[in-house]
């Protein structure tokens, strides 16, 4: 969950994009300002803002200049880049963000990779998917994009997140196969599922204050706080997964750093079979895959 945080020096003079500026000059000015503010990926961030907000011409018009000034001000105040832009890519798809959702992170793509590894041979089957704590809907929607005959349900405790996920399902072309419900875990659900995905809250409560400010101040606490030891959500999942997994089904769970052994123990004690761990971009165990008893 590492991100550029608040600038170390809030007195840093800001570039001030204006109508009539060359787009190339505006990009360089943004990069200089971000560098002076201590933003690590200053060149990347300047390029992304220009690509998203400057339009397609060589010169800034008034609308583009206003957008860039607003984005610059928000970014220098510590708001994460993708929050400023209102969307982030995940698995090649674009996902709108809202206050009730986590940002989809590239490391979470390991859950989609794990899903394809374990269920890819069933790609054309009419399967049922469940995403517990759906947030933006990124895990469910990305999975449905890879399994064209599957249908899925995304569950969340946040009405804001559910509305955002429903919009993302529409924009990514899977809304006819996706349903979103306000519930705690599997409340009100019936039947079994061929794939159960979850990126649950897994940060220990006392560790929240030590998170990067871009995470701590902008990601919803509901999606971060995993209780005193960070494992509350996994205990809940262990209690429900055996009864919700269909024969031949798979549960794919995201975990935090150092949680693999504890989560494996919880799931196997509940009667699930551990199958594999999939690593993220940094080489850390990120997605654990389980199956029901045979």
Residues annotated within the binding site are 133-137, 156, 185, 199-202
CA dihedral sign, ordered 38, 43, 48, 51: positive
| CA–CA dist 139, 143 (Å, integer) | 6
Separation of CA 209 from chain center: 20
Strands 193-198 and 128-132: parallel
Residues 13, 15, 19, 23: what is their CA dihedral angle, to the nearest 10 degrees? 170
Contact between residue 154 and residue 134 where contact means Cβ atoms under 8 Å apart: yes
**Structure tokens that stand for 164 in this block:** 């955002």
Element (H, E) at 169: helix 159-171
Residue with tokens 């997994």: 245
43: alpha, beta or left? (left if phi > 0; alpha if psi -120 to 50): alpha
Question: What SS3 state is found at 165?
Answer: helix
For residue 96, give both structure tokens: 């709108």
The C-alpha angle with vertex 188 and arms to 184 and 192, in degrees rounded to 5, equals 100
First to last CA, the chain: 36
Instruction: Give binding residues for S-adenosyl-L-methionine as ranges.
Output: 133-137, 156, 185, 199
The Cα–Cα gap between 36 and 250 comes to: 48
Is 256:202 a contact under the CB 8 Å cutoff? yes
Annotated binding site for substrate: 199-202
């Amino acid at each position: 969950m590492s991100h550029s945080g608040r600038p170390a020096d809030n007195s840093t003079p800001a570039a001030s994009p204006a109508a009539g500026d060359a787009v190339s000059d505006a990009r360089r000015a943004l990069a200089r300002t971000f560098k002076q503010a201590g933003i690590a990926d200053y060149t990347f961030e300047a390029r992304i803002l220009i690509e998203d907000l400057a339009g397609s011409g060589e010169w800034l018009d008034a609308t583009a200049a206003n957008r860039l000034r607003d984005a610059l001000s928000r970014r220098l105040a510590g708001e994460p880049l993708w929050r400023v832009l209102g969307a982030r890519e995940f698995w090649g798809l674009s996902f709108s963000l809202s206050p009730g959702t986590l940002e989809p992170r590239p490391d979470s793509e390991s859950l989609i990779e794990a899903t394809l590894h374990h269920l890819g041979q069933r790609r054309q089957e009419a399967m049922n998917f469940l995403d517990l704590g759906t947030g933006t809907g990124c895990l469910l929607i990305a999975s449905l994009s890879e399994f064209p005959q599957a249908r899925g349900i995304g569950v969340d405790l946040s009405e804001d997140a559910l509305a955002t996920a429903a919009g993302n399902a529409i924009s990514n072309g899977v809304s006819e196969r996706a349903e979103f419900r306000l519930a705690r875990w599997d409340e009100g659900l019936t039947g079994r599922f061929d794939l159960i995905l979850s990126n649950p809250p897994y940060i220990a409560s006392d560790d929240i204050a030590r998170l990067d400010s871009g995470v701590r101040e902008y990601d919803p606490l509901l999606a971060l706080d995993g209780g005193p030891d960070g494992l509350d959500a996994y205990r809940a999942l262990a209690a429900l997964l055996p009864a919700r997994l269909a024969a031949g089904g798979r549960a794919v769970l995201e975990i935090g750093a150092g949680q693999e052994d504890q989560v494996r123990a919880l799931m196997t004690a509940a009667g699930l079979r551990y199958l594999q761990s999939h690593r993220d971009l940094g080489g850390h165990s990120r997605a654990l895959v389980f199956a029901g008893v045979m």
